[in-house]
């Protein structure tokens, strides 16, 4: 089927485009950055409704995977209006194009940021939703537009991704694994905020891309957490890295960052039952792959 992916040149987007192409779909990518896999590509800003609707008119996609967004929690804190315009405004521009041109299903990339720190892990989809940053608030708002309003025109698949990691992730966005790989391979040192006991749910981008492809092929509406379901502390991460590299590296402790959630990992029963999906790439395999790429 014809699937339009917004943000298809980004970290999760390029992996998703690759998974969709491998499954035989006709893929159109709308992004500000050039396409990675040679798919049909439009350099259009999703907040520009007229330009976006012209793409939909030309391409007539059946389904849409909406990933384009700004992804920085600190940037949203510094500039909530920018966050609202990009992440709520951009999403509504995409959904209006979907409504106007008869798209029958939309996948939306939400985040663990919607839970804030009110939920006790393992976090299920029924945990309290109390986002603390403009980024989390706008992700929650967009979920509600789909669940409460746009469902009249198209079905939705909403994923609240955990900490996605893997090839092509930028270390500049603050992603801990990307920063650690760069630190270990280039600088011989990594920085840890706090005592390293904080826990996260890491999931490999190729597993996420496979879930995205499975979800866009289905029909019923759902909202699901997408992660490994495995709690991994920053200290665990460092232990795995030490077991994989032959050279030594220094661990520099920094003060904890205000507002950081201590422990966040998912109950992934929902996605296992509904999509028959489970992650295939273990943390050590994923880290080994990244170390090998960094050495090339
Ligand atoms: N990476 C994670 O761990 C994670 C976790 C939770 C949610 N998400 C969500 O997943 C989605 C993809 O994230 P990512 O990590 O791949 O980020 P990314 O920055 O690598 O990719 C985003 C892509 O969107 C494009 N884009 C941004 N604004 C645009 C606009 N206005 N018009 C057109 N294109 C635009 C960018 O050029 C980029 O290619 C985002 O919605 C993000 O909020 C990511």
Q: What is the pLDDT of residues 154-170, one digit of tens each?
A: 999 999 999 999 999 99
Give me ligand 1 centre to Cα 3, in Å.
17
Angstrom distance (rounded) from CA 19 to CA 229: 22
Pocket test for ligand 1, best of 8, 9, 10 (most atoms within 8 A of CB): 10
Distance CA 224, CA 124 (A): 9
What is the whole-number distance in angstroms between the Cα of residue 205 and the centre of ligand 1? 13
Q: The domain spanning residue 25 has which CATH number?
A: 3.40.50.720
- Say yes or no: CB of residue 33 within 6 Å of ligand 1: yes
What is the tally of structural domains in the chain? 1
Domain residue limits at 87: 2-295
Q: Among all chains, which residue has been given the structure tokens 């939306």? A: 108
Sequence-separated (6 or more) residues with CB below 8 Å from residue 217: 1, 23
Residues 50-102 have pLDDT tens digits of 999 999 999 999 999 999 999 999 899 999 999 999 999 999 999 999 999 99
Bridge partners of 107? 65, 157
Q: Using the mean position of ligand 1's atoms as its centre, give its distance from the Cα of residue 81 in Å.
A: 18
**165 a catalytic residue:** no
Distance CA 97, CA 28 (A): 15
Q: Is 69 in the pocket of ligand 1 (CB under 6 A)?
A: yes
Q: Nearest residue CA, atom 12 of ligand 1?
A: 67
Does the Cβ of 203 fall within 6 Å of ligand 1? no
Tell which phi-psi region holds residue 164, choosing left (phi > 0), alpha (psi between -120 and 50) or beta: beta
pLDDT > 90? residue 172? no
d(CA 176, CA 179): 5
What's the rounded Cα separation, in Å, for the pair 107 and 61?
Answer: 13
Ligand 1, atom 29: closest residue by C-alpha: 68
- Put simply, whether the predicted model's pTM sits higher than 0.85 gets the answer yes
Atom of ligand 1 nearest to the CA of 14: 16
pLDDT in tens, 139-151: 999 999 999 999 9
In eight-state DSSP terms, residue 36 is S
User: How do residues 95-127 score in pLDDT, each as one tens digit?
Assistant: 999 999 999 999 999 999 999 988 899 999 999
Residues 6+ apart with CB under 8 A from 294: 181, 182, 185, 186
Q: What is the mean pLDDT of the chain?
A: 96
Q: 115, 135, 161, 265: which one is catalytic?
A: 135
Ligand 1 binding pocket includes 121 (Cβ within 6 Å): no
Distance 168 CA to ligand 1 centre (A): 12
The Cβ of residue 295 has, within 10 Å, a number of other Cβ atoms equal to 8
């Amino acid at each position: 089927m014809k699937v339009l992916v917004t943000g298809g040149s980004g970290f999760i987007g390029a992996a998703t485009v690759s998974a969709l192409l491998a499954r035989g779909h006709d893929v159109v990518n709308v992004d500000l950055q050039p396409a990675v896999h040679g798919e049909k590509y439009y350099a259009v800003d999703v907040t520009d409704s007229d330009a976006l609707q012209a793409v939909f008119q030309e391409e007539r996609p059946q389904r849409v995977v909406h990933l384009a967004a700004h992804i920085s929690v600190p940037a949203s804190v510094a500039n909530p209006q920018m966050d609202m315009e990009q992440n709520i405004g951009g999403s509504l521009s995409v959904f209006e194009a979907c409504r106007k041109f008869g798209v029958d299903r939309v996948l939306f990339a939400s985040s663990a940021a919607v839970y804030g720190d009110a939920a006790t892990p393992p976090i299920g989809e029924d945990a309290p939703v109390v986002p603390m940053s403009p980024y989390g608030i706008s992700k929650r708002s967009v979920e509600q537009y789909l669940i409460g309003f746009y469902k009249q025109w198209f079905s939705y698949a909403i994923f609240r991704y955990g900490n996605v990691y893997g090839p092509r992730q930028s270390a500049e966005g603050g992603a801990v694994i990307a920063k650690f790989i760069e630190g270990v391979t280039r600088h011989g040192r990594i920085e840890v905020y706090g005592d390293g006991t904080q826990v996260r749910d890491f999931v490999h981008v190729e597993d996420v891309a496979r879930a995205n492809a499975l979800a866009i092929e289905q029909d019923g509406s759902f909202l699901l957490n997408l992660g490994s379901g495995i709690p991994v502390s920053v200290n665990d991460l460092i232990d795995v890295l030490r077991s994989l590299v032959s050279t030594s590296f220094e661990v520099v402790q920094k003060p904890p960052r205000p507002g950081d959630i201590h422990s966040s990992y998912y109950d992934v029963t929902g996605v296992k039952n509904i999509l028959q999906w489970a992650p295939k790439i273990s943390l050590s395999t994923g880290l080994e792959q990244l170390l090998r790429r960094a050495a090339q």
